[in-house]
Chains A and B, each alone.
Chain A
C-alpha cells in the first residue's frame, strides 16, 4: 500500500493539470479552469431542491458492464422504475445518476471518468455488483479496476453478482433517502479531492490523451 501511495504522490506532484495530455491544437477546445465546489443553499430551499432531485433521477444510458442487463427488466413492465421518477437519458449532460454496471475495465474506466465529468451536478453514482466494491470475480484480473471509489465518488453500492432488480430498486430508494437528507454530496467530494482522484485515474490510464477538465 505504501508503495502505491508513494507512486500516487509522485504522479500528483508531476501533474501540471492544464490539459497537458492534449496537443496544442486540441487545447483550444477544452476548458482549463479547475472546478469549484458549490455550496448548497440554506434551509428550506435546499430541502425543496433535494426533494425534487430525489424524485427525478435520470440515469445515464451507458451500460458499462454486464449489470446493464438488469436495467432492462427494471425499465420494462415487470419492475417499471418510471413509477419512482427514474428514467434513462441518452446524454451525460442531462443525466444525474450514473449506474456503473459492474466491473470496469481500464478502457471503460477512461470513458466512465469522462462521462462522469460531463454530467452536471449534483450527480450521483451507483456502484452495481460486487466487482465495483472489491473486484469481485475479477479481483486478480489485469484489466479490471478493483475499487471504484478510488476513481469516482460512489454514493451507494449494490452488492451481488448480479444484483436483482429488486436490489437495484432498494439501492435507488437508499439513494433517494440520502439525497433528501443532503448526504449525497459526491460531486463536491470529487472536487475537493480532485488531485487525488486524478492521480488515481492517471495511474491506471497510462495513455492519458484526453482533457483533464471535461466540463
Chain B
C-alpha cells in the first residue's frame, strides 16, 4: 500500500493530479486533468509497468455537466489496478485518442463515440457504428436519454402490463410479516 502512495508522490511532481483514492492493496483511482491524461497514461505505461489496458469507459455526471472518463490499467508485476479518471465537458465532448498506445483503445473509443457521443479525433474508424445500426436519436448511454420512453414510442408494448409499487405489493401478497424487515 505504501508503494502506490510513494508512486503517487513521484507522479505528483510531474503532473498536477487533483485527487487520489486508494481503495485497497489492489486498486487505486487517480484524478488527472484532461489535457495531461494521455501524457500521464503514457508515463505509467512506459515507466511504471502499467502495461495492460483493462477497460476504458465513461460515466455521465449530468449534474456536474461532465463526463468522467475512466482508464483502468493493470500492472502485472505488482498486480495492481490503477484507475485514471478525468473529467471532460459534456457539450461538444472531445478527448485525445489512445489508439497509438493500445490498438484495442480504438474499439473502446468507437463505442464511447456511439454510446456517449464523445469524439476522439484521429482514432481509426471512430465514426463507424459499433453496436447500434441506423441510430438517429441521442446517444443512448447519456443520462438524459429515457430508454423506457423511447421503447414505448418505438416498439409495440403488449397491452396488459401492470406496475405495482414493489413494497406495497410484497407486503400484501408475498410476505405480509416480513416485508418491513427484509
Contact = CB atoms under 8 A, between A and B. Distances in A.
Interface residues of A, number: 26
A146 B154 CA distance: 10
Interface residues of B, number: 22
B157 A142 contact: no
B157 A204 contact: no
B135 interface: yes
A205 B151 contact: no
Given A141-B147, A146-B151, A135 B133 contact: no
Residue of A4, A141, A143 with most partner-chain B CB within 10 A: A143
B133 A207 contact: yes
Nearest to B136: A206
A51 interface: no
A147 interface: yes
B151 A4 contact: no
Interface in A182-215: 200, 203-208
A142 B132 CA distance: 10
B161 interface: yes
A110 interface: yes
Contacts, number: 60
Interface string A109-141: 010000000000000000000000111000111
B148 A140 contact: yes
B153 interface: yes
B115 to A, nearest CB: 11
A106 interface: yes
A196 B159 CA distance: 19
A107 interface: yes
Contact of B157 (A3, A110, A135, A203): A135
Contacts of B137: 142
A72 interface: no
Nearest 4 CB-CB pairings of A with B:
A207-B134, A134-B158, A140-B148, A206-B134
Given A140-B152, A141-B147, 4 more contacts: A106-B134, A139-B161, A141-B151, A205-B134
